[in-house]
Structure 1
């Protein structure tokens, strides 16, 4: 499991994300934080530490053998701002957390994640994104 503190995100007023090439990009707005995290990780899960549906999403992904990058919004300095961006992405006023990105694209919340798992489309999506090899 990867947590924000271990992915190179510095908790400061200007948030920086370090790529593997050691280049640093300063990100001042939460939309760019979300975009950059989604673009640089196969699977990103935005979560709240006390959320039972977030736990369900984590257990499903871990159970499939995926090691998602997990951002606990209640422990992140830009958490409320990121959550506002996720609320805009979630359609029809749905709960924005958990929010799952696969292969740089917004998959959705717990309903979409579970629906993809049940109808058999989740594993192919994860393989295509490089999160699963088998």
Structure 2
């Protein structure tokens, strides 16, 4: 008799009803998330497309590469930064503290800052794009590489060989 009263209880039928009701919105949420992932993928691929076609992309990339190459080859030490970036500040202070006067390019204040930032992201292997430090015309790396070179004692010889230090 007790068992029959439990089955006829309104609470149990409500619980059964609510579980079915919950599974439908969960399915809807999952499909919306899948749709958002598709949209995000489209946005990322659209963001990669700069300009009209493949030829335009190649021309833009060559132009940006040429600009970066000219800056890097014409200066002993170049640091690409974004103003307000704390790690960029650390790298600049380290170099200034060693007596180096690096050429600092703040990408958020450059007309071609966005494409240069994308190029640096590629050069850096997909990691953080800034700070990007070039010594003697060659890409040294970001904050981790610069600090590692400083700690192991190889930074000063690199700077001397590049003509940035006369110690």
Q: How high is the TM-score relative to the length of structure 1?
A: 0.77
Q: How far, CA to CA, are the matches of 2:131 and 2:87 in structure 1?
A: 7
Q: Which residue of 2 aligns with 1:127?
A: 160
**Is 2:122 aligned against 1:88?**
yes
Q: Which residue of 2 aligns with 1:116?
A: 149
Partner of 2:140, secondary structure, is: strand
TM alignment of 1:6-17, pairs within 5 A: none
**Is 2:69 aligned against 1:35?**
yes
- Greater RCO, 1 or 2 (C-alpha within 8 Å, sep 6+): 1
Residue of 48, 61, 85 corresponding to 2:95 = 61
Partner of 1:101, secondary structure, is: strand
Structure 1, unpaired ranges of 5+ = 1-27
Over aligned residue pairs, what C-alpha RMSD do you find? 0.9
Q: How far, CA to CA, are the matches of 1:106 and 1:59 in structure 2?
A: 19
Structure 2, unpaired ranges of 5+ = 1-61
Looking at secondary structure, tell me which structure has more strand per residue.
1
Give the superposition deviation at 1:96. Answer: 0.9
Q: How far, CA to CA, are the matches of 1:50 and 1:67 in structure 2?
A: 19
Give the superposition deviation at 1:30. Answer: 1.0
Q: How far, CA to CA, are the matches of 2:78 and 2:103 in structure 1?
A: 5
Moved over 6 A (4+): none
Partner of 1:133, secondary structure, is: coil
Q: How high is the TM-score relative to the length of structure 2?
A: 0.62
Looking at secondary structure, tell me which structure has more helix per residue.
2
Residue of 134, 139, 149 corresponding to 1:101 = 134
